[in-house]
A and B are shown apart, each in its own frame.
Chain A
Amino acid sequence: MVRWGMVIDLDKCTACQACVVACQVENNVPPADPTIDAQYRAIHWLRLLEYREGEYPHVRTRLIPRPCMHCDKPPCVKVCPVGATNIGSEGIVDQIYGRCIGCRYCTTACPYTVKYMNWYRPRWPEEMKKAFNPDVTIRPKGVVEKCTFCSHRLIKARERVRAEARELGPGDYIPACVETCPSNAMYFGDLENPNGTVFQLARSHRAFKLLEDLGTEPKVIYLSEGE
């Protein structure tokens, strides 16, 4: 069985945030205007985490891209009262917007705080409305949304390979952030395929996962920065 996972090489990452922008555009996430930002209500399926280390003047900031971890044991799926948050057979943690009742139990249960609430109806700048991605649902107000590893791309890829009468190969399905990364710091693929890059990188001695001790078994693996 396929298990989709992502590897982010922090040595290569330049924190340029191209992935953040690509994600917003791909998934029809409304850009946060300053008022929304000031209310701490901006939605970022993927964002940079700022780890500050040390005391002044020896301060160092690490910036880490943070998508949804797509845990194998997701605390958010466990607590959802209606099964709106669910984990698919290939390990993608998804949200059914049409079923979500907006109780925000998943958002509070997620130790990574990767889930976002639509406090209002989403608003876009006029120009962006013409550039919606037709493959991704626009979320109504009052529901929770999250990174889906661009699962709509998986559906499209499946359709494409079926039309071409072949198996799904590496590179057929890649989320927007990974596709965009200018420094090739992000990798995406099957964590169960021993010949794949992701499989091998995930076993690197530099590999670590965020809050690994919580037992959530994330499928986003980071490669630590060298010295």
Chain B
Amino acid sequence: MVIDPKVIEAERELVAKIDQDEILFKPILSTGKGFYLVAAALLTIVVLAAYAYLAQFRYGLGVTGLNTPTYWGVYITNFVFFIGISHAGTLISAILRIARAEWRRSITRSAEVITVLVLFFGAGNIIIDLGRPDRLLNVIYYGRFQSPLLWDVVSITTYLTASSIYLYLPLIPDIALLRDRVKGIRHWFYKVLALGWRGTERQIHWLEIAIAIMAILVIPIAVSVHTVVSYVFAMTIQPMWHSAIFGPYFVVGAIFSGIAAIIIAMAIIRRVYHLEDYLRPVHFDYLGVLLLVMCCLWFYFTSCEYLTVFYGAEPVHLAVFYSKITGHYAPYFYAMLATCFVIPFAILANGKTRNVTGCVIASIAVTIGMWLERFTIVVPTLVNPRLPYERGIYMPSWVEWFIFAGCFAFFTLLYMLFTKLFPIVSIWEIREGREKSLAEVEERLRTYLPFKEEVSSKK
């Protein structure tokens, strides 16, 4: 299909009308009352969580609902969940960049920010879970690489570094735009961060190379991160943990929950900052399709895992299996099935319901479901040890719930702050899309297909 030049012209005029993406600068240049109200509410939750953590720090992990043999609970679930969410960003945006999916332009930034911010909460939950957080540095002083936890430390720090760079690089031209717009202390702030960006040919050339390298680099790192997270469980010989599919299963779940997180974030940004022109139904539609694909993959992996255990029928494995299917953890398990598969599949498989609202509902379901999935992986195995101990039921305490809520609130707060400091939609990439890529895409399309002129010129 050849794009009619008239359409392009009309589009250009429309663009001129929206005054050079002024609306994307607005959140940074002016802040309304709503922002402060929400920030204050979130801050309250964070303070409550900090209080809960102080109680835990002072009295010990006894303030949680953990016991013998349920040594791990909400914190480890959070750890896996948040690290999973982090696959949103960088991985998705890197894949879309490499695949030259032009629709990525307005969504990559918001996704990359999720990655970087949420990683702190993933790693943070491990530290919260420690009985002796004061001895955290022992991991460096006495670190043993035979332990999968050390693999985690290495891969998560690598991922945090790589994804921070990958967030920062495409941010530079936008920071330069802001530097030229604001005065005072903020000017100085942006000036330092812009690293002397002037937008010359040479700078753009090098930036593009750097982004391309990071986009490729970040994919294997992201895959390794969640594989290694799964190894924490899979490397032990505990029933229903010791499974070879855990690596890919966790990666799939991570990308699944990651896409859901992007969709929710996009919907909120779109509503709050009135970015309907940038985050359009088509973005939700495409991400919805991606979410649907991951939803089917997740279901495939889940059924593989559970069918193998059921058919093999080893007693220790079956004990864990039945605690999820008919036992105490059945409500969690079926809620997970509903929220991870039934609800999102029903909504997303239907083109009519795969609109903005539908995608958001599906995404909220998936986010809840993926947390439950992590929970039903971590806890039932621990509650059913091999030897005949009397076993308690694990119920998280208020401390764990407060800290959980605090993590969410703190993440949201940091995300909000980011939108106040930097454009949440990549301005230069949008402009590049208009100015360069429109022609590039046409050019590229021409290389895919035989066209009349080309065929005749060859003759």
A101 touches B139 (CB 8 A): yes
A79 to B389, CA, bound (A): 23
Answer whether residue A111 sits at the interface, using C-beta atoms and an 8 A cutoff. yes
Kindly supply a per-residue 1/0 record for chain B positions 55-78, scoring 1 wherever the CB is within 8 Å of any chain A CB and 0 otherwise: 000011110101111111000000
Shortest C-beta distance, A98 to chain B (Å), equals 9
Q: Are A79 and B235 in contact (CB under 8 A)?
A: yes
Q: Which of A80, A117, A144, A210 has the most CB of B within 10 A?
A: A117
Residue pair A121, B391 in contact (C-beta under 8 Å): no
A112 to B389, CA, bound (A): 10
Q: Contact at A101–B150, with CB atoms within 8 Å?
A: no
114-151 of chain A: CB within 8 A of chain B: 116-121, 140-144
Q: In whole angstroms, how far apart are the Cα atoms of A120 and B55 in the complex?
A: 12
Across the interface, do B67 and A40 meet the contact criterion of CB distance under 8 Å? yes
State A144–B387 Cα separation when bound (angstroms): 20
> Does residue B433 face the partner (Cβ distance < 8 Å to A)?
no
A184-227 interface with B by 8 A CB criterion? 210-211, 214
How far, in angstroms, from A117 to B135 measured CA to CA in the complex? 16
A-B contact count (CB 8 A): 143
Whether B132 contacts A109 by the Cβ 8 Å rule is: no
With both beta carbons as reference points, the residue of chain B lying nearest to A52 in the complex is identified as B388
Stretch at the interface among B94-102, B141-149, B319-327: B141-149
Please report which residues of chain B, range 232-279, place their CB below 8 angstroms from some CB of chain A when the two chains form the complex. Answer: 232, 235-238
Q: Is the CB of B238 within 8 A of A39?
A: no
Of the candidates A78, A99, A210, the one whose C-beta lies within 8 Å of that of B387 is: A210
Which bucket holds chain B's interface residue count? 35 or more
* Binary per-residue interface labels of chain B (203-236) against chain A in the complex, 1 for a CB within 8 Å, 0 otherwise: 0000000000000000000000000000010011
Q: Which of A60-97 touch B at CB < 8 Å?
A: 66, 75, 78-84
| A101-B138 in contact (CB<8A) | yes
Q: B389 and A49: CB pair below 8 A?
A: yes
Question: Which A residues lie at the B interface, using CB under 8 A?
Answer: 39-42, 49-52, 66, 75, 78-84, 99-105, 107-109, 111-113, 116-121, 140-144, 210-211, 214
Interchain Cβ contacts under 8 Å between A and B, 24 examples? A41-B62, A41-B67, A49-B388, A50-B390, A78-B146, A79-B146, A79-B235, A81-B139, A81-B150, A83-B142, A83-B144, A101-B133, A101-B139, A102-B130, A102-B135, A103-B149, A109-B237, A109-B238, A111-B237, A111-B238, A111-B386, A113-B69, A120-B60, A214-B237
